[in-house]
Structure 1
Amino acid sequence: MLLGFKTELKVSKQQRLLLAQHAGVARHAWNQGLALCKQVIIHNRTNPDDKIKFPTAIDLHKWLVAAVKSTHPWYYEVSKCAPQYALRHLSDAFKSFFNTSTSLGVDPERSRRVKKVKGFPNFKKKGRHDSFTLDGVIHIDHKKVRVPIIGWLKTYELLPFGYKPKSVTISKQADKWFISWKIELETNETPKKREFVGVDLGINHLAILSTGVIFDGAKSYKRYESKLARMQYLNRHKQVGSHNYRKAQIKIARLHQKIANIRKDTLHKITTYISKNHAVIGIEDLNVSGMLANGKLSKAIADMGFYEFRRQLEYKTQLYGSKLVIVDRFYPSSKTCSSCGEKKSSLSLSQRVFTCEICGFECDRDVNAAINLEKEAVRLTVLACGLDSADTSRMKQEEKAGSC
């Protein structure tokens, strides 16, 4: 399977300037291509009888060479791959947008609120998510990598040996530059401690397993929220574009990066443990975007990183020989009694202990939900594999024996 490798670069002042030039050309090509695509969409919407073919990545590059490069000579100071890949990524973004619009039943060429549809590409601003992609002859040697035009770039750590990437992506976070590429790894199946497990995600605790194990989230934003607010408050009177303003912006960006790194590190540790030690993992298909619409809980939900948690589980289960079962988001895991199966009509968030009026079962509501997710994962696995009742009972007996 393919995994991404990313590491920080140790760049000189001259290299920093050259990297910024590449990122600027890629950003300019993206914005020019996006402006042209928007004009095509507007023309096709206002002239339905005289539509223009929506440009592909090749069409955009031909137009860029003919109309833009001639008036912008600094395009020739960087690698030709930077604008080419920017337009290719723009074309992929529009393909994803059109697929999303089709699934939602929206015609992007007729809708007047086309930008309101999720996934519509936006114009890029200098200093935000600066990146570019290069291909060609790329050499990797211990702690340095050689890329076209720029030359050798040093790194702080040893690079994976024996891989020859076809392309690399160089990006900027705060005032640091990073390089990344894809490497191919073989599946590393690990011995499992348990056959099935259910994972319930929450705000008080990030992940609650059906075994009773509880993992707390990093809550890194909450930890540094006051410091971040103070830095932004002190920066309010600085003149935009001044030296002090740029220094303050870098400090704020570094703190944002620190918050994200703490959160990501915690998620990696939890998802690695779950994937390595459990064969089948049941998790609910949460509507994260819908949950973020709740103004009272949106900050806490975003700080936990539910989407990133699932994304890491999806590839780590493949890496460690596990299986991830996605349970339908409308499955009432919190309202259902894990002992007798009785379903409650309602259950408020303030009720932290689940009590069944039928059988008298009492349990923490999150653990009860995790147990129900485990049972649903067993049921879905049985349906997918076509196991009979004898196989199912044997699996449950082995699971109980392993937990004793």
Structure 2
Amino acid sequence: MKKGNVYRIYPNRGQSALLEQHFGAARFVYNHSLSIKNLMHGKFRVNVTEVDLNNHLISLKETFPWLKYINSQSLQQANRNLLTGFKNFFEGNGSYPTWKSKKDNHFSFQIPQNYQINLTSSQIYLPKIGWMKIILHRDFLSKEFIENSLVTKEVNGEIILDQKLNKEFKVLKTLTVSRTSAGRYHVSILIEDHAPYPEPELFTEETTVGIDVGIKTFAVLSTGEEIENPKFLKRSLKKLVKLQRSVSRKPKGSKNRKKAVVKLAKHHQLIANQRNDFQHKVSAMIIRESQAIVIEDLNVKGMVRNHCLAQSISDVGWSGFVDKLIYKAEWFGKTILKIGRFDASSKLCNVCGYKFKELTLDIREWKCPACKTLHDRDINASINSKKIALSNLNTAGTVGRAYGLTGTSQGNEVGSHRF
């Protein structure tokens, strides 16, 4: 079973400069290799392999000597990421790879091996960068697993976990270093403990819950429980406007403007952290209390094109919530069932099946003309979602086939799968 944990690191000023060089070098190599791939395939119909790109790094370092100060494996990993992007594109799982820009505020590079973690003093060693402080707020592996299954070394009475010494066990996987727009550095440690995913637990109609996500209410369960939308972005809009106005008033290129930009980025980071924490708590509660969860396959990318609802949809974060439900279900042996985005879950009466075609978004309650039942729009939709999913399950015939409807799995907490 693969899991990833994100920890904050605190480099000194010199190490921060080295990290920035690694971010830029990984981006540079990625873009350079992408141009080679496009050129060779566009003009000569030649497929450039990963070996070809890695061999080209030797001559690239002669042309750009500053690349010699960068961890070579991180540069090779940039090539591997590019080819993975092409593979996903040709398999229909992603878009065509594009250039990376330093203006998009996505800074990261990967270290596949030779990193070390000091478990005693909470420090981490990154090749070409050195030792720095890390906040291990949670254990990425249990103490028993480390003592019984891994090799550690003792230096001056401190216990150090060296990835190089444990290479044969294939437990410590790729480490990703990243920086947020607020200037905070993090590392994500991917772990493979070789424990199998639990088999999906048997579920019944009583242990299955349907979820209808919304904007006014974050989620409504088929049990009738409503989870209020905290609207973290909306609650912070006044503060964001004030901070953005402060940025606009500062002269471009000035130090005061840079300080104002950092303050604005930190507040955006706070909102993202609040939303992420809320989604983790809600998804954990639903997974813990149900054996099977029914969700709707929403077209979020299409819905955010509606300028009237785009901000509210982005604020609620449906995609991130569903991602958390999916990989937590895999961790704990629960089942995720999906219904199609065109299934009429809101317009159907869950009692008699009457379809109310005149239902619009502004109608929150409606009375069924056939059986006279008064429906709350969201609760009715969640109940219908559950019924549709179980009906599809009976048609499919097996639990395994239904469990396969979850789509792409996620092996760590910071993954980025979309609808």
- Work out which of the residue numbers 155, 158, 161 in structure 1 matches 2:134: 155
Pairs within 5 Å for 1:41-56: 43-44=42-43, 51-56=44-49
Residue 267 in 1 paired to residue 279 in 2?
Answer: yes
CA shift in 2, pair 1:237/1:70, >3 Å: farther
- Matched letter for residue 129 of structure 2: I
**Cα distance in 2 for residues equivalent to 1:119 and 1:226:** 38
Residue 121 in 1 paired to residue 98 in 2?
Answer: yes
Which deviates further from its counterpart, 190-199 or 365-374? 190-199
**Cα distance in 2 for residues equivalent to 1:248 and 1:240:** 11
**Cα distance in 2 for residues equivalent to 1:232 and 1:57:** 44
Deviation at 1:207, TM superposition (A): 0.7
Residue in 2 that maps onto 1:336: 348
- Work out which of the residue numbers 153, 175, 190 in structure 2 matches 1:168: 175
Residue in 2 that maps onto 1:10: 10
Contact 2:329 2:336 in 1 (8 A): yes
Residue 236 in 1 paired to residue 228 in 2?
Answer: no
**Cα distance in 1 for residues equivalent to 2:385 and 2:202:** 22
- Work out which of the residue numbers 61, 65, 69 in structure 1 matches 2:54: 61
Deviation at 1:352, TM superposition (A): 0.4
Q: For 1:208, what is the secondary structure of its paired residue?
A: strand
Contact 1:192 1:277 in 2 (8 A): no
Contact 2:124 2:132 in 1 (8 A): yes
Q: For 2:344, what is the secondary structure of its paired residue?
A: coil
Residue in 2 that maps onto 1:74: 66
Residue 215 in 1 paired to residue 208 in 2?
Answer: no
Deviation at 1:354, TM superposition (A): 2.7
Deviations 1:25-66 (A, max 9, x none): 11211222233334346x34xxxxxx3223233322333332
CA shift in 2, pair 1:56/1:15, >3 Å: same
Deviation at 1:192, TM superposition (A): 9.1
**Cα distance in 2 for residues equivalent to 1:178 and 1:352:** 43
Residue in 2 that maps onto 1:93: 85
- Ranges in structure 2 where 5+ consecutive residues have no aligned partner: 151-170, 400-419
CA shift in 2, pair 1:222/1:262, >3 Å: same
- Matched letter for residue 177 of structure 1: Y
CA shift in 2, pair 1:216/1:380, >3 Å: same
Contact 1:93 1:121 in 2 (8 A): no
Deviation at 1:216, TM superposition (A): 1.8
Q: For 2:354, what is the secondary structure of its paired residue?
A: coil
Contact 1:4 1:181 in 2 (8 A): yes
- Matched letter for residue 106 of structure 2: H
CA shift in 2, pair 1:231/1:37, >3 Å: farther
Pairs within 5 Å for 1:1-400: 1-40=1-40, 43-44=42-43, 51-66=44-59, 68-100=60-92, 118-125=95-102, 128-142=105-119, 143-158=122-137, 159-161=139-141, 162=146, 164-173=171-180, 174-184=182-192, 195-386=207-398
TM-score of the two chains, using structure 1 as the length reference: 0.83
Which deviates further from its counterpart, 226-235 or 358-367? 226-235
Contact 1:34 1:123 in 2 (8 A): no
Q: For 2:298, what is the secondary structure of its paired residue?
A: coil
- Matched letter for residue 228 of structure 2: D
Deviation at 1:205, TM superposition (A): 0.6
* Aligned sequence identity (%): 34
Deviations 1:218-253 (A, max 9, x none): 311111122222222221243433322222222122
Contact 1:327 1:376 in 2 (8 A): yes
**Cα distance in 2 for residues equivalent to 1:33 and 1:59:** 10
- Matched letter for residue 351 of structure 1: I
Q: For 1:137, what is the secondary structure of its paired residue?
A: coil
How many residues end up aligned between the 2 structures? 364
- Matched letter for residue 181 of structure 1: I
**Cα distance in 2 for residues equivalent to 1:82 and 1:52:** 28
Contact 1:356 1:362 in 2 (8 A): yes
**Cα distance in 2 for residues equivalent to 1:58 and 1:218:** 49
Contact 1:138 1:166 in 2 (8 A): no
TM-score of the two chains, using structure 2 as the length reference: 0.80
Deviations 1:306-340 (A, max 9, x none): 11111111101111221000111111000100001
**Cα distance in 1 for residues equivalent to 2:17 and 2:398:** 60
Deviation at 1:17, TM superposition (A): 1.6
